[in-house]
Structure 1
Amino acid sequence: MAARKSVIVGMNGQPLMMANSAYDGASHGRRMGGVYAPGSGINTNLNYALTTLRNRSRAGHRNMPLLRSGIEKKVTNEIGIGITPRSKCENVDLRKTINALWDESCFQFDPEGNLDVYGMQAQISRARRISGECFIRARYRSSSADLLVPIQFQVLEADFVPLDFNDTLSNGNRIIAGIEFNRRGQRVAYHMYREHPGEMYNYQASLANLVRVPASEVAHHFNPLHPGQIRGEPDSAASLVKAQTFDSYDDAELVRKQTRAPFTGAIYRDALDANDADNWAFDPISGDPLGGESGFGNAKAEPGTIFELLDGEKIEMFKGDDTGQGYADFMRWQSLMQAAGMDMPYELLTGDWEKVNDRLVRAVLNEFRRRIQMDQWHLMIPQVMRWMRWHWLNRAVLAGRLNLPGYATKMRDYHQHTWCPHGWPYINPNIDVEAKINAIDADLVAHEDVVAENGDDLTDIQARNKVARDNRGERTPKQRQKDKDNE
């Protein structure tokens, strides 16, 4: 295949040289010459467009069914009923005490009192997917507050940190898009509005009235897709144009059908003969005179009516619901493009499972769940939940809600914990459970890890099962197997 030739043009518009490109994508011919591909840094490109992207993404979530479906199903699969922490410190009794206090106090984390920590997880995930990011601020409360642990966590929309606030401070720190960095490039503070700048009741949204919050008290939840990226990109950024055009087209098609539905057909008449002009002045069904200067009106008929037409008349019935050849295939392909733009399976986005069997369903869901696990373990758990639990445990000890001996020297041990995301339901329960049992028996996986995949804690399950068996006077499965072997 011949190499593509490109022309490099000087400032005066004259060609400087002819260059061959080994890559078609780097050619400057008619096909690729009009492609806009700036070489700007990610923050220059994103921060300039982020306000518009964010607002359009929010509008799409409010008004576009497929876009809303995609975001909500991602949130549902990422969070479920919650990602639960379980202490793993050496002392088993202290482990149980820490877990019990978390389970009781997590209902008090929301300053507004609307959600527990697991509902907040869903809210945080949704905000990241719609707006590209959100901020969580630790709010320390007085020990006299009516809280089990005197700390709460305030979830803030991305708008609280202004994109257009940039400055260089006298100490050498730089503020970029509302985030303050030291000379080493580390985040040291976030500059925030006191109230949401877009609310109608807000009177304090001014760049001259920002609050500087230390970075240690703020969790910035976003997906840094590129090295050096400092603000988040909405999940729907790549599919917004497709979603808007598709939604407008579908709505126009619906309106077209709606407006044509009242019209059944038309009676066509040949050119009028002056001698027969009186015959055309009456309704062919009722015989009533037709109104209007044109002499034409509407022929209304009851079901089962047979038309008796005059000479020169003919009826043509409308096809009001005819959407044309290939309409369904066209709509499916556009939905596939939207699904690709939102990085999720078409079947899950649309609910259309017609063309997949049980094996394909497993393959589709396994790929999607792997993607969701990335979001859980790369974003939600390290950026938000570990940070939240660190602040909570420190505050619980300082306020005397937990008595952890030698906490200052054994912090690493006391902060050991694992996270249990809400497990997905089995696709085929009998086969799936049997496969996990075989994997445990063959030492391919740990029993504890298999249970944790379903969002549960092995120690807790075993303790509750033992109590239930003791109450019923039953022996464990292993004991029963041993009895059988001894026989």
Structure 2
Amino acid sequence: MANIIDRIVGFVSPAAGLRRHSARQLLQRAYEGANQSDGWRPRRPGASANTDHAGDARTLRTRARALSQNVPYIARGLASHTANIIGTGIIPKWLGPEAKVYAELWKVWGAQADADGVLDIYGLEDLAHLTAQRDGEALVRIRQRRKEDGLAVPVQFQVLEIDWLDDSRNGRIDGFDVIQGKAYDALGRVVGYYLFDQHPGDMVLPRSRSGGSHFVPASSIIHYFAKERPGQGRGFPRIAPAIPRVRDLSLYEDAEINRKNLESRLGVLASGDVNALADGEGTKVQEGGRMLGDLPSGGLMQVPTGSNLTVVEPKAVPGYVDYVRQALHLIAAGCGWTYEMMTGDVSQVNFSSARIRRLDYKREAEREQWLHVIPCLITPMVRAFVDAAELAGLVDKADYNVRYATPKWEYTNPRDDVKSDLEEIAGGLSTFSEKLRQRGYDPEEVVQEMKEDVDRLRKAGLLDILFMMMKVKGATDSSPQQP
């Protein structure tokens, strides 16, 4: 709205008045979300991902661990998500001329892959992913071994918590630019990590003599985390967006428990001649801090003449279940899980809604598998295995031409889903191999196994009998129903 100065300027010079009006319009915001009159001031505006990590990551990691240890639905959500992403393991399959040699070595070596001697290679995949989801990042150290150690392939892996990384190392160190314990060269490539000799929070083992960290080349470390911003060098816990709501819900649940305790207690207000109660007339006095002492269940009591008693009965406050369910939905959304997989509660869904949400989650999970887990965790582990096999002379040439098989997704309605897949193949909208890959199978292995089965049945003379049984069953299924 024009003020008196604008009107005067416009009267003297209409062009100048128009320019003043246009400039004032530019000061108005097109997005209400950018309006700063609401008092919202985000923390560290314009800070880089590494700056945000340096300020908040340690606290977020500590709180995420505490919640995963003490809040059941957070622990279940982390475990369920890892079960869907890793399952029983993401399996590599070599495609080169020495594919069978690599496959056999991987099968034998897989049970020896853990430097701690506890898990196999697929257990290490599960542990690394679960640790990274909870803490935001994890380290996998590549341990080269000697031939005389008796391993099928002389290499092992050791999963370390991110606490091993000395994030106090910053600045120009040893000729490198170091940011939170990661050393970069002039081109911005990671060249090494500064690691402690042992976990800094370990109170069992004696501290090392130096007590500091030492440089470990990047070729010996797999730093596994989800990169969400350009230039980000460290990871944040998966549940970081939901931590405030989880804490608020926990406080609300504690308050509700205290209120329920009060509701279950019988309160009595006495008025009138209460001084007579001090003489022991009618009942015990001041026992355990209560004026009337213990009130017997189903009993009759006599109180002094002139005393009036009022029973206090707190009323239940409705809406607790609805609020908790809504809060859990928001927490699940913030963590990238489904409400059902986090809580195990399927009472509020039907077949259609459960299937739609399952499909959405499947797309998100496959995105994480193929764009994050496989290139950032599985592939570096496979390459370390291949390099060690070549250096040990177990194969003629390093072969990195690998295809990966992810866990199979169970269908919500198997009969209709199989029918739909067959119709897509028959209509030329998909291939037999593509449908097998979507189900988590390797088409080459399936075809080879089918060929072996057919040859075995033909050799035993059972193939014709099997075809006859299938033909009879098909005729029976297609026959009209009798009234």
Q: 424, 429, 436: which is aligned to 2:414?
A: 429
Q: d(CA) in 2 for partners of 1:241 and 1:115?
A: 35
Output aligned runs, 1:197-276, within 5 Å. Answer: 197-200=200-203, 201-204=205-208, 209-258=212-261, 260-261=263-264, 263-266=265-268, 268-272=269-273
Partner residue, 1:316: 311
Partner residue, 1:357: 350
Indicate conservation of the 8 Å contact 1:131/1:233, yes or no: yes
Correspondence 1:21 to 2:29: yes
SS of equivalent residue, structure 1 residue 232: coil
Partner residue, 1:401: 394
TM-score by length of 1: 0.82
Indicate conservation of the 8 Å contact 1:281/1:295, yes or no: no
Partner residue, 1:164: 168
1:325 is aligned with what amino acid?
Answer: P
CA change 1:479–1:85 in 2 (3 A) is farther
CA change 1:157–1:282 in 2 (3 A) is same
Output aligned runs, 1:14-413, within 5 Å. Answer: 19-29=27-37, 31-36=38-43, 38-89=45-96, 91=97, 94-169=98-173, 171=175, 173-200=176-203, 201-204=205-208, 209-258=212-261, 260-261=263-264, 263-266=265-268, 268-272=269-273, 277=276, 281-283=280-282, 290=285, 296-302=292-298, 313=308, 316=311, 318-319=313-314, 322=316, 324-402=317-395, 404=396, 407=397, 411=398
Q: d(CA) in 2 for partners of 1:61 and 1:476?
A: 57
Q: d(CA) in 2 for partners of 1:290 and 1:420?
A: 76
- Mind listing any 5+ residue stretches in structure 2 that lack a counterpart? 1-23, 473-483
Indicate conservation of the 8 Å contact 2:273/2:307, yes or no: no
Q: d(CA) in 1 for partners of 2:388 and 2:55?
A: 39
Q: 437, 441, 452: which is aligned to 2:437?
A: 452
TM-score by length of 2: 0.82
SS of equivalent residue, structure 2 residue 151: coil
CA change 1:455–1:21 in 2 (3 A) is same
Q: CA deviation at 1:258?
A: 3.7
CA change 1:294–1:66 in 2 (3 A) is closer
Which deviations, in whole Å up to 9, do the C-alpha atoms of 1:276-302 show, x marking residues without a partner? x5899555xxxx555669862222124
1:160 is aligned with what amino acid?
Answer: W
Q: CA deviation at 1:455?
A: 3.0
CA change 1:396–1:23 in 2 (3 A) is same
Partner residue, 2:11: none
Indicate conservation of the 8 Å contact 1:197/1:205, yes or no: no
2:198 is aligned with what amino acid?
Answer: E
Point out 4+ residue stretches in structure 1 off by more than 4 angstroms: 277-283, 288-295, 305-315, 476-484
Partner residue, 2:15: none
Q: CA deviation at 1:108?
A: 0.8
Indicate conservation of the 8 Å contact 1:137/1:219, yes or no: yes
SS of equivalent residue, structure 2 residue 149: coil
CA change 1:428–1:205 in 2 (3 A) is farther
Q: Which moved more, 1:468-477 or 1:227-236?
A: 468-477
1:300 is aligned with what amino acid?
Answer: P
Q: Which moved more, 1:458-467 or 1:225-234?
A: 458-467
Which deviations, in whole Å up to 9, do the C-alpha atoms of 1:182-218 show, x marking residues without a partner? 11111111221121111112513867x4232221222
CA change 1:328–1:289 in 2 (3 A) is closer
Indicate conservation of the 8 Å contact 1:148/1:401, yes or no: no
CA change 1:447–1:417 in 2 (3 A) is farther
Q: RMSD in angstroms over aligned alpha carbons?
A: 3.2
- Mind listing any 5+ residue stretches in structure 1 that lack a counterpart? 1-16
Identical amino acids, percent of aligned pairs = 27
